[in-house]
């Protein structure tokens, strides 16, 4: 039997197995679920062993990583699959229509916590692999699995784990299925993520709140000063005004513009998704270009003075804000933090004090669009879904992808089988059976396509 | 015996009487002190009767007003004395060096709650009056007293009381001793107060907090928009940029500039009082001119987005701020609120929503500097203190002064006998015996000086 026929035949069985996996309430953020995390890791390692993968549970200072490998030949390509077996908390429970840890079929959907994020999605790769091992077909690649247990609670020990086990994790490419399709029946390969740089700014004027009558007009107000500084972060074209901010930013390629044009994007739909009255961004770029391929600066929080009901006539002693900048590849978080610090120190007037805390961040990542990985992934999806995939980026960051690149030097393919409205992190998480199935077939095709990539 | 000799003779007696007055814990903000408020009002009315004033306790919806009058002749000038017999709370008690309601002489000071604010100061006028009645000298003026009982808890019912009793309170001039000297041995007449206009501004973008990665760059951030708006409230010279804001503002007179020049003001001392690194204000004006005679705009509070520890990568749904503008005489709070609203609506971009709540405010007041009142007050102080007084303004507002002007049409003389560092509203409130005494003699001289003013 060939691997594809195995997939055809075992549909019910793999759904039942997925349900077993989903029944563990492996909520990493809640200490009372520590035993469930452990049981889930053990089940996963056992299941990997059952399908022929050499698996082990590896301790970290947090929840353990389930590691597995199946090495066929040093001549073969090595794929490192990354995923996570832990899940988000489930409260508020009363909003769930089914029990979160009793996976249930409702119409076309598997309902339950972890269905799409990430148990259901990562399981497709195990099932694709099993289609080889169970049928004794020759696996044309080496595979490694790194399935972590604390992605939903911050992945605090993940970077250290990757550093500590760099040799063990060595591979040619990383495959992650923890994102989503672009939309219904629009499968996608995500080839880039923005990075992040984070600073906090505090402006201090008087050494205590002052009466705004007795002093107002003669002394600077730290809130007004901070607002002035923030206003100077952008120019009139919506560009970030920090000197040198765009120095390492590469122009958007013709290929990328073409991919964006292919998307069924409408401003109307975008606005309805955000509830905003209008779009606004850097002049000269379309919305998707602004979000995927251009760096930004946003104030995430601001505070100062009196925030209660009514009024209080003070000149506050201080005002502060949190600023994050989304970075594109080649911009360095440390460098950007230094540049914003230098700029703020320069524009901040001398009659107030200015304190800047630089938190650094994570660089943006991109899979080379002209390399073999994207092409192979595109072909695999086309075979698994019967649909041409789109090539997209994501405005947010997935830090582990940056770590794989910076520590191991490996590019990551982000192949999401689910949908953005599958309620990851919300009640009534779901994963359509059809997407799960297409994911399994795509995962199988991916093994074949990657096997043919010339190293 | 002439009135001045009576003052000379009764020094100990009036100090003892003041101590009696100070012993009532008439804290208006604490309901458990309602009986003390009542007892204090009764003592005050009785004391007024004892010295020949026709006194009564008049109910309000809050604490009662002690009203008194002594009408000598319709031909005479009528002075309305305003003050308050209630006091501030005393916590934290452990910081007091003496018991707040056991007035104690420590060195040159009377220590205790209410010594300067306002029992001790208002008592000087009663004692000056007594110097006439007790010696059977002819009082050359008519006097009225309105001593309220809730000044320290917001004077909620005071405006209504004045409106309801406009005929009863009719007078030629109001005298208030509830401010301070300009400094040690620098007695002052306060001839102007700034007013206030208050608005709240809220900018709303998306209908919920959005992921700043997935949407940042394509949609406006309400904090950034609000900061832009606030930055546009001032021009580069520190002038308020709202069109028409200065329309009703009169130039600073030569007389006023002269008064300011007479003051022993130093930037160094001003900065040490505020803890600020430098001064900052409207270009072309000195610090005292900026605070006393120019209108201002200050953000008293700002909030939006995430304010907790660490970071949260969001584009917040909204941001808001509280803005007060200090007004000078002739600017109308309602007009100024309309002008800032119009300006913000104009500069606020269309891709966000903008909500402005106009709270109105109080107008600034000024006693005509070329009229008879200031001259009479100046002469009285010179006689009472043996020192030439300075003529000052106050950057803050005393709403009742505006009410006397707007409801009764009467100017108010603000003659403070105390000092700014007498710890009004703080533990260890005090009033120097010397200032109390000089206040009594000045109050006596004031009666004589005002009697000579031509109506």
For every residue of B198-230, which 3-state class applies, written as one string? EEEEEEECCCCCEEHHHHECCECCHHHHHHHHH
What CATH number corresponds to the domain at position A66?
Answer: 3.40.630.10
Q: Are A235 and A342 contained in the same domain?
A: yes
The helix/strand/coil state of A236 is: coil
Helix (H) or strand (E) holding B433: helix B433-451
List Cβ neighbours of B95 (8 Å cut-off, separation of 6 or more): B427, B428
Is B335 in CB contact (< 8 Å) with chain A?
no
Residues B290, B305, single domain; the answer is no
Instruction: Give me A371's structure tokens.
Output: 């390399």
Kindly provide the residue ranges of all beta strands, DSSP E only, lying in A236-349, ordered along the sequence: 296-305, 314-315, 318-327
Domain extent at residue A378? 3-193+364-451
Among residues B404, B398, B323, which one has the least CA distance to residue B359?
B323
Token pair for residue B451? 């009697």
Cite the DSSP H helix spans in B59-134. Answer: 119-133
Do A373 and A330 share a domain, yes or no?
no
Which chain A residues are Cβ-neighbours of B220 within 8 angstroms? Answer: 276, 278, 280
d(CA A398, CA A191): 12
CA of A184: how far to CAs of A387, A417, A435, B214, in Å?
11, 10, 10, 18
Q: Which of A362, A382, A409 is the last residue of a domain?
A: A362
Same-domain pairing of A129 and A45: yes
Q: How far is residue B356's CA from residue B338's CA, in Å, rounded to a whole number?
A: 10
What value does the mean pLDDT of chain B take? 95
**Closest to A354 in 3D by CA, of A234, A233, A229:** A229
- Contact between residue A197 and residue A327 where contact means Cβ atoms under 8 Å apart: yes
What are the Cα distances from residue B249, in Å, to A193, B308, B336, B404? 55, 43, 12, 22
Task: Sort strands A173-176 and A412-416 into parallel, antiparallel or unpaired.
Answer: parallel
Q: What percent of chain A has pLDDT over 70?
A: 100
State whether residue A194 sits within 8 Å of chain B by CB. yes
Say yes or no for a CB contact (<8 Å) between B224 and A234.
yes
Q: Both ends of chain A: CA-CA distance in Å?
A: 29
- My answer on whether A200 and A115 are in the same domain is no
> In a 3-state reduction of DSSP, which class is residue A432?
strand
Domain-terminating residue out of A362, A389, A413: A362
Q: Can you read off the two tokens belonging to residue B108?
A: 């040159």
Distance between first and last Cα of chain B: 29
Of A337, A362, A387, at which residue does a domain stop? Answer: A362
Which 211-270 residues of chain B touch chain A by CB within 8 A? 211-221, 223-224, 226-228, 230-234, 270
**Do A245 and A380 fall into the same domain?**
no
The residue of chain A with its CA nearest to that of B193 is A213
pLDDT at B16 over 90: yes
* Residue B381 clears pLDDT 90, i.e. is over it: yes
Query: Residue B263 to residues A331, B389, B435: CA-CA distances in angstroms?
Result: 57, 10, 20
Task: State residue B358 phi and psi, 5-degree precision.
Answer: -100, 115
CB-closest option in A221, A276, A306 to B206 = A276
Query: Same domain, yes or no, for B313 and B384?
Result: no
A215 and A98 assigned to the same domain: no
% of residues, chain B, pLDDT over 90: 89
d(CA A14, CA A131): 11
Please tell me the predicted confidence (pLDDT) of residue A91: 86
Query: What b/e sequence results for B424-453 when a residue is b if at least 16 CB atoms lie within 10 Å of its CB, and e otherwise?
Result: beebbbbbbbebbbbbbbbbbbbbbbbbee
Taking CB atoms and an 8 Å limit, are A218 and B288 in contact across chains? Answer: yes
pLDDT digits (tens, 9 = 90+) for A178-195: 999 999 999 999 999 999
User: Which CATH number goes with the domain that contains A342?
Assistant: 3.30.70.360
Indicate the number of domains in chain A. Answer: 2
Question: What pLDDT, on a 0 to 100 scale, did the predictor assign at position A49?
Answer: 98
* Domain annotation covers residue A270: no
**Alpha-carbon radius of gyration of chain A:** 25
Which of the residues of A are catalytic?
86, 151
Q: Do residues A329 and A416 both lie within one domain?
A: no
B164 among known catalytic residues: no
ipTM above 0.85, yes or no: yes
Strands A296-305 and A314-315: unpaired
Name the token pair of A245: 């901010």
pLDDT tens figures, B202-247: 999 999 899 898 899 999 999 999 999 999 999 999 999 999 999 9
Are B167 and B273 within one domain? Answer: no
Going by C-alpha positions, the residue among B374, B452, B432, B445 that lies closest to residue B127 is: B445
d(CA B117, CA B119): 6
Residues across chain B: 455
* Regions in chain A scoring below 50 on pLDDT: none
B186-206 pLDDT, tens digit per residue, is: 999 999 999 999 999 999 999
Instruction: Choose from B182, B211, B224 for mutation: most chain A CBs within 10 A.
Output: B224
Residue A264 lies in a domain: no
Which residues, numbered 400 to 429 in chain B, qualify as contacts with chain A under a Cβ-Cβ cut-off of 8 Å? none
Q: Could you tell me if A279 and B218 are in contact, meaning their C-beta atoms sit under 8 angstroms apart?
A: yes
For chains A and B, what is the number of CB pairs under 8 angstroms?
Answer: 276
Q: In the structure, what pLDDT confidence band is assigned to residue B310 with cuts at 50, 70 and 90?
A: confident
**Could A322 and B306 be called an inter-chain contact, meaning their C-beta atoms sit closer than 8 Å?**
yes
Model confidence, pTM: 0.88
Name the E strands within B252-380: 296-305, 314-315, 318-327, 353-362, 365-366
Helix (H) or strand (E) holding A189: strand A188-193
pLDDT at B383: 98
**Residue of A232, A298, A426 to mutate when probing chain B, most B C-beta within 10 A:** A298
- Rounded to whole angstroms, the Cα distance separating B287 from B266 reads 10
Candidates B183, B371, B336, B320; CA nearest to B246 is B336
- B162 and B180 together in one domain: yes
Same domain, A130 and A208: no
* Residues B221/B249, Cβ–Cβ less than 8 Å: no
């Amino acid at each position: 039997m060939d691997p594809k026929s195995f997939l055809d035949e075992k549909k019910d069985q793999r759904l039942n197995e997925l349900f077993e996996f989903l029944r563990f309430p492996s909520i990493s953020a809640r200490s009372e679920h520590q035993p469930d995390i452990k049981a889930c890791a053990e089940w996963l390692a056992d299941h990997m062993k059952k399908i022929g993968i050499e698996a082990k549970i590896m301790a970290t200072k947090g929840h353990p990583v389930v590691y597995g490998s199946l090495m066929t030949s040093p001549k073969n390509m090595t794929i490192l699959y990354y995923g996570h077996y832990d899940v988000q908390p489930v409260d508020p429970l009363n909003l769930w229509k089914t029990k979160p840890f009793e996976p249930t079929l409702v119409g076309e959907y598997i309902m339950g916590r972890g269905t799409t994020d990430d148990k259901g999605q990562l399981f497709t790769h195990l099932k694709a692999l099993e289609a080889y091992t169970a049928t004794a077909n020759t696996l044309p690649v080496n595979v490694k699995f790194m399935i972590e247990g604390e992605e939903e609670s911050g992945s605090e020990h993940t970077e250290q784990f990757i550093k500590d086990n760099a040799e063990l994790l060595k591979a040619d490419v990383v495959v992650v299925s923890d994102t989503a399709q672009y939309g219904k029946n629009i499968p996608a390969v995500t080839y880039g993520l923005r990075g992040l740089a984070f600073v906090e700014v505090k402006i201090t004027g008087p050494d205590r709140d002052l009466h705004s009558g007795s002093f107002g007009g003669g002394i600077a107000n730290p809130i007004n000063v901070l607002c002035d500084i923030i206003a100077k972060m952008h120019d009139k074209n919506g560009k970030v005004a920090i000197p040198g901010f765009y120095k390492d930013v590469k122009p958007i390629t013709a290929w990328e513009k073409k991919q964006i044009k292919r998307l069924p994007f409408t401003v109307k739909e975008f606005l309805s998704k955000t509830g905003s009255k209008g779009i606004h961004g850097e002049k000269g770029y379309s919305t998707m270009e602004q979000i995927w391929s251009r760096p930004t600066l946003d104030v995430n929080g601001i505070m100062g003075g009196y925030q209660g009901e009514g009024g209080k006539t003070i000149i506050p002693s201080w005002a502060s804000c949190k600023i994050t900048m989304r970075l594109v590849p080649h911009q360095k978080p440390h460098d950007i933090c230094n540049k914003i610090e230098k700029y703020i120190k320069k524009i901040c007037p001398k009659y107030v004090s200015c304190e800047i805390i630089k938190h650094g961040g994570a660089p943006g990542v991109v899979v080379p669009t002209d390399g073999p990985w994207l092409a192979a992934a595109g072909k695999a999806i086309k075979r698994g879904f019967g649909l041409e995939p789109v090539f997209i980026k994501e405005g947010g960051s997935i830090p582990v992808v940056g770590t794989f690149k910076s520590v191991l030097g490996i590019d990551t393919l982000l192949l999401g089988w689910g949908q953005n409205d599958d309620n990851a992190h919300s009640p009534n998480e779901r994963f359509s059976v059809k997407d799960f199935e297409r994911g399994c077939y795509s995962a199988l095709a991916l093994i074949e396509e990657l096997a043919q990539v010339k190293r």
